[in-house]
Structure 1
Amino acid sequence: MSQLPTLRQLQFLLALAEHGSFSRAADAVFVTQPTLSAAIKELEAILGVVLVERGARGATLTPAGEAALTRARRVMTEAEDLVIAAQAAGEPLCGPLRLGVIPTIAPFLLPRVLPTVREQFPKLKLYLREDLTQRLYDALLERRLDAALVALPFEAPMIETHVLGADEFLFCCEPAHPLAQKPSLKSSDLAGEPLLLLEDGHCLRDHALAACSAGMVRSDFAATSLHTLVQMVKAGLGATLLPRMAVAAGLVDRLDLTVRPFDPPVVGREIGIAWRRGSARAEEARQLGEVIQGLLTPPQ
């Protein structure tokens, strides 16, 4: 049987590809530069190809090195999954778990759920990352995240999701706004109404457009966060749609704004947890989702 590369050699190749320098890669994996350089030469000898072009400005991978890098990532990930699966079989939801959360959920849900998660799973160490949905899904596929709290629907290949609950849209405006005085508000009342929305890339924007787009006029202003959005409403630039989750968490408290539900409720999005298909953390993601599901405020 031919000699096989070691996980350590593959780890060094990944570090070299990431840092583009033998010295920086050696620092990243806590070895000396000669140790890392020797390991890469041994790997090249085992594979019978040159993996790295060494130059004064650093190190770059050859085409063969790029091909090896792709498989090295896969092997290292499978090795990590092996460890995770074995640990989860002994005791689920312990050790590190990398959780992504979108910005329109993170500040409104995490403060309520994290204390309960810590209490129920004291050995779990959560590493949190807030980002837009597409970037979180990319991180799941690249195995940089184990799970993500997202808003659905959002289609993505190789991603599985579990719905945790519905989050309805509420209409937010100044007290003097004509729609603030209507006894019953319907989504059709938004026809011709200029609404402030989040900027492109936020799934909440897409959900708002899908739920109430009939005749709706989009304002020229696009916010980067819900906090900015309500301040623009306060400044008289227009009205907007807000998720009930954010309102329940106090987003518009002390702003003297009117928040009205639709009749019947307009469920603009569902809260869900996502993971990469085939992930060793899939069952743990489901378990974490079940805990969060029990803490979600149901639509009122």
Structure 2
Amino acid sequence: MLTLKQMTYFVALAEARSFSGAAERVHVTQPALSQQIKEMEATLGTLLVERLPRDIRLTRAGQVVLDRSQKILGMTRDLEAEIRLSKGLTGRLTLGVIPTIAPYLLPRALTRIKAAALDLDLRVREAQTAELIADVSRGQLDAAVIALPYDTPGLLAEPLFTDHFLLAGSQSRLDALTAQTVPRPTDLSPDALLLLDEGHCLADQALDVCGVKRTHQTVDLGASSLATLCGLVAQGFGLTLLPEIALCSEKAASPEMAVLRFPEPQPERTVALVRRQSTEAKAWFTELAALLSEAGEELMHEARERG
């Protein structure tokens, strides 16, 4: 009979594409992992993995086993999560947050969560949207805070608050732009835009807001953080779209940076909490969403007063 341990090892092997890499992922020795895979093959009576000099390749039977193993492990994690969180915000909860939200929302939100759920063992991981969605789908995270619009197949999204985009740059650059009228995002020249590295959903959302295609070679996509962008534009190196949630923190760090609001309707993104649709709706998700929403709305209020 196959075991969950064997399926876990096999999925790790398929993803890592090497026995050593898979063993490192699941924290066992390479011989121990290799033995479990051999036992799987013996139990099923077929070869699952073609062992190549510097790679592994799944056989047709291996592909079938991988697909079923991922589903079984996902269902197991769903069951564990439902039991862990069946009484609300207690026990262990794993939460993912994207980098353009985490440093601004988490300090405010964690204070609320800690006060409301003293027994909660909250574990937070910061990563880009695609990685978080994949981990929520696989059951490696219970939920994640992301920014919409974004394709979230198999996930349920609960909107938390609306985060507007502001135009940030040096005061002299913004004064020149507004000499006649306040520009709309689509009026901005791609030549002047500084955005985050590819892979950050904020970069894609900003390009979409400005009506610029990613293939446009004059858009500078290279900064790794909003803090870097704000420091650059504050010194006159171009312009960027700044999420309202980041305004107070980044303005304090880069006081030379100036911002302006676009005319209505202001460009925006929706900050949302996502979970698997297959996970039964429980009090923990509703409670967590409410606490995150409160913290976000408070940040939005302060930002609107500031800028």
So what's the TM-score if we normalise by structure 1?
0.79
Query: 1:168 is matched with which residue?
Result: 164
Q: Secondary structure at the match of 2:193?
A: strand
Query: 2:61 is matched with which residue?
Result: 64
Query: 2:268 is matched with which residue?
Result: 268
Q: Tell me which protein shows more strand as a share of its residues.
A: 1
Q: Which of 177, 189, 196 is residue 194 of structure 2 equivalent to?
A: 196
How many angstroms apart in 1 are the aligned matches of 2:288 and 2:157? 13
How many angstroms apart in 2 are the aligned matches of 1:248 and 1:258? 12
Query: 2:77 is matched with which residue?
Result: 80
Change (3 A) 1:114 1:275: same
How many angstroms does 1:272 deviate by? 0.9
How many angstroms apart in 2 are the aligned matches of 1:95 and 1:242? 36
Contact 1:168 1:243 in 2 (8 A): yes
Query: 1:294 is matched with which residue?
Result: 294
Change (3 A) 1:153 1:5: same
Query: 2:90 is matched with which residue?
Result: 94
Contact 1:93 1:284 in 2 (8 A): yes
The aligned runs of 1:105-120 (5 Å cut-off) are 105-120=101-116
Query: 1:230 is matched with which residue?
Result: 230
How many angstroms apart in 1 are the aligned matches of 2:254 and 2:50? 61
Query: 2:206 is matched with which residue?
Result: 208
Contact 1:22 1:58 in 2 (8 A): no
How many angstroms does 1:31 deviate by? 8.4
Contact 1:197 1:219 in 2 (8 A): no
How many angstroms does 1:165 deviate by? 0.6
Change (3 A) 1:120 1:183: farther
Letter of the 1:87 counterpart: R
- Higher radius of gyration, 1 or 2: 1
How many angstroms does 1:115 deviate by? 2.0
Q: Secondary structure at the match of 2:278?
A: coil
Letter of the 1:123 counterpart: D
How many angstroms apart in 2 are the aligned matches of 1:203 and 1:225? 12
How many angstroms apart in 2 are the aligned matches of 1:238 and 1:66? 49
Letter of the 1:298 counterpart: M
How many angstroms does 1:268 deviate by? 1.8
Q: Give the share of equivalent positions with the same residue, in percent.
A: 32
Contact 1:52 1:59 in 2 (8 A): yes
How many angstroms does 1:67 deviate by? 2.0
Per-residue CA distance 1:8-62 (angstroms, 9 max, x = gap): 443454455566448974994668957972x555544443323355789797654
What is the aligned-residue RMSD (CA, Å)?
3.7
How many angstroms does 1:280 deviate by? 4.9
Q: Secondary structure at the match of 2:172?
A: coil
Bigger shift: residues 176-185 or 266-275: 176-185
Q: Secondary structure at the match of 1:169?
A: strand
So what's the TM-score if we normalise by structure 2?
0.77
Aligned length: 293
Change (3 A) 1:185 1:197: farther
How many angstroms does 1:249 deviate by? 2.7
Letter of the 1:200 counterpart: E
How many angstroms does 1:163 deviate by? 0.8
Contact 1:185 1:262 in 2 (8 A): no
1:123 and 2:122 aligned: no
Letter of the 2:62 counterpart: G
Q: Secondary structure at the match of 1:112?
A: helix
Change (3 A) 1:34 1:239: closer
1:221 and 2:220 aligned: yes
Bigger shift: residues 256-265 or 276-285: 276-285
Change (3 A) 1:41 1:189: closer
How many angstroms apart in 2 are the aligned matches of 1:256 and 1:190? 25
Contact 2:145 2:272 in 1 (8 A): yes
How many angstroms apart in 2 are the aligned matches of 1:21 and 1:201? 28
